[in-house]
Amino acid sequence: MTLPASTPVKGGGALGDLEREGVPRHVAIIMDGNGRWATSRGMSRSEGHRAGTENVRRAIEAFAQEGVEYLTLYAFSTENWARPSEEVEALISLIHEVIGPESENLHDMGVRIRHIGSLGRLSDELRCAIEESVELTENNDRLTLCVAFNYGARAEILEAVRRIVREGVDAESVDEQTFAARLHTAGVPDPDLIIRTAGEMRLSNFLLWQSAYAEFYSTPVLWPDFDSVEVGKAIEAYRRRRRKFGRLDG
Ligand code: FPP
């Protein structure tokens, strides 16, 4: 038996089933290469992050046009705090600067914003800005954007374990649903496609539980250059995959 190239998506949003066929329902992206993009142009790494941030809106629109329902972007990992303080401060203040105006734009585009990760260690102002963007957009349904900010998958898994223990859940009753419901991504389907730009091929503590059967796509294109043509190439590569979910046929 031959399985379909990729899982067809049913319902939701403005596109019908026909247009969506073979389109990943959930795409997650490790946006890499901002620094290399900048240094190859004689610019500072912070300018690379600004160019990467400007590309975020274009990418969201391109994925929405393709019929993707969930997009997760790895904006800042728990490990990124270990970068030089100047770069950390530049990244955090960049995100703080754009979150307000971008939330309004995304709201107009029908995008719902979710945050995954920890709000601890962030300033009160930034925490409030993130919470406001989530509240503003909570009723939108064109595309759900999960912003992984101050996110680390191991920390997320440990937090879920602590919650299960604290709630006194019977050990024998703990199954995959019990566990997934306590992750930051509760209610979000697992990613079908994980994209990493700038040629790297590692997960870097991103969605470790959720990516069990995700297809992986790596491209040498640097994140600020990952435009709608590249989005189309990634979706096309996904369409050609045979997803087997551990079975023999395919
Ligand atoms: C990796 O490039 C990129 C990051 C650590 C940050 C990604 C963040 C953004 C694009 C900011 C905006 C996000 C949102 C959702 C508003 P790198 O610095 O590791 O590049 P390099 O490997 O070439 O040095």
Q: State residue 2's pLDDT score.
A: 34
Lining residues, ligand 1, CB within 6 Å: 31-36, 49, 52-53, 56, 73, 75, 80, 95, 98, 147, 198
Count of positions (residues) in the chain: 250
Asked if 106 and 142 count as a contact pair (C-beta separation under 8 A), the reply is: no
Q: How far is the CA of 10 from the centre of ligand 1 (A)?
A: 33
DSSP state of 184: T
DSSP state of 189: P
Instruction: Quote the pLDDT of residue 20.
Output: 67
Q: Tell me the CATH number of domain 28-238, given options 3.10.450.750, 3.40.1180.10, 3.30.56.10, 3.40.640.10.
A: 3.40.1180.10
154-204 pLDDT, tens digit per residue, is 999 999 999 999 999 999 999 999 999 999 999 999 999 999 999 999 999
Beta bridge partners of 194: 28, 216
pLDDT per residue over 68-83, tens digit each? 999 999 999 999 999 9
Distance 30 CA to ligand 1 centre (A): 8
pLDDT of residue 250: 54
Pairing label, strands 143-151, 193-196: unpaired
Residue 238 CA, ligand 1 centroid: distance in Å: 24
- Phi, psi (rounded to 5 degrees) for 233: -65, -40
Minimum CA distance residue for ligand 1 atom 22:
33
Local confidence band at 243 (pLDDT 50, 70, 90 cut-offs) = confident
Query: Residue 48 CA: which ligand 1 atom is closest?
Result: 18
| CA–CA dist 210, 140 (Å, integer) | 24
DSSP bridge pairs for 27: 71, 193
Of all protein residues, the one whose alpha carbon is nearest to atom 12 of ligand 1 is 53
Judge whether 141 and 170 are in contact, CB under 8 Å.
no
- pLDDT digit string, tens, across residues 60-70: 999 999 999 99
**Domains of the chain by residue range:** 28-238
pLDDT-above-90 percentage for the chain: 88
**What integer pLDDT is reported at residue 242 of this predicted model?**
85
Q: Which atom of ligand 1 sits closest to the CA of residue 77?
A: 5
Tens digit of each residue's pLDDT (9 = 90 or more) over 85-121 = 999 999 999 999 999 999 999 999 999 999 999 999 8
Q: Which atom of ligand 1 is nearest to the CA of 102?
A: 16
What pLDDT score does 15 carry? 52
Query: DSSP character for 219?
Result: -
Residue 148: burial class (beta carbons within 10 Å; 0-12, 13-18, 19+): buried
Q: Is residue 142 over pLDDT 70?
A: yes
Residue 8 binned pLDDT confidence (cut-offs 50, 70, 90): very low
Q: What's the confidence (pLDDT) of residue 112? A: 98
Q: Whose CA is nearest to atom 1 of ligand 1?
A: 32
Q: Is residue 12 pLDDT above 50, yes or no? A: no
Q: Which of 52, 50, 64 is nearest to 105 (CA)?
A: 64
Minimum CA distance residue for ligand 1 atom 7: 75
Is pLDDT above 90 for 11? no
